[in-house]
Amino acid sequence: MATFELIQGDITTIAVDAIVNAANSSLQGGGGVDGAIHRAAGPGLLAECFQMNGCPTGEARLTGGYDLPAKFVIHAVGPRWRGGNHGEVGLLAATYRSALALAKECDVRSIAFPAISCGIYGYPVEEAARVAVDTVRKHAAGMPELERGIFVCFDEKTYEAYDVALNTAE
């Protein structure tokens, strides 16, 4: 059964089997954590992403980690917030499930997640943290090989939202 940790920091520095990227459907890089991961991984990451034919929202794709301390990058495409009546909750949950399904396929023992959709995609952090924590905990229960999950928040507001979500029952 995995243990879950919460840290405030830069996900590109975390030495785990896989870090999850908050990507867009083109998989061609972007700003936010996507930009940071590509900068830290080096050109090999984009070259591998070029081989893929994008990724629909709610799904994920796996690549190598290149110059990152992580072995793999799981590029997960979360939903853009459109007010909450366009299936955002289900899509965000599907994004975390898709990332964990790929982690399971590659026998990942440790994984780090950013706050998917909480930046440029505008998802309210409190709601997103609740979806993230509940979905990851539920799905990880079926992954005996997963030992460690880390939620990596870049700023204090996000950290506090995840702290509440991790320490209150769903």
DSSP strand E in the chain: where? Answer: 3-8, 18-23, 60-64, 72-77, 110-113, 148-153
CB of 45 to ligand APR, least distance (A): 13
Q: Are the beta carbons of 112 and 11 closer than 8 angstroms?
A: yes
CB of 104 to ligand APR, least distance (A): 22
CB of 114 to ligand APR, least distance (A): 4
Tell me if residue 34 is catalytic.
Answer: yes
Is the Cβ of residue 2 or residue 91 nearer to ligand APR in the bound state?
A: 91
Is the Cβ of residue 2 or residue 113 nearer to ligand APR in the bound state?
A: 113
Phi-psi region of 15 (alpha: psi -120 to 50; beta: other; left: phi over 0): beta
C-alpha span between 68 and 70 (Å, rounded): 5
Tokens found for residue 54: 């994008």
Length of the chain: 170
Is the Cβ of residue 24 or residue 139 nearer to ligand APR in the bound state?
A: 24
CB of 35 to ligand APR, least distance (A): 6
Catalytic residue among 10, 17, 34, 134: 34
C-alpha span between 10 and 102 (Å, rounded): 22
Using CB under 6 A as the criterion, which residues of the chain lie in contact with ligand APR when the complex forms?
10-12, 22-24, 30-36, 78, 114-121, 152, 154-155, 158
C-alpha span between 137 and 139 (Å, rounded): 6
Q: Are the beta carbons of 14 and 65 closer than 8 angstroms?
A: no
Is the Cβ of residue 32 or residue 108 nearer to ligand APR in the bound state?
A: 32
Active site residues: 34
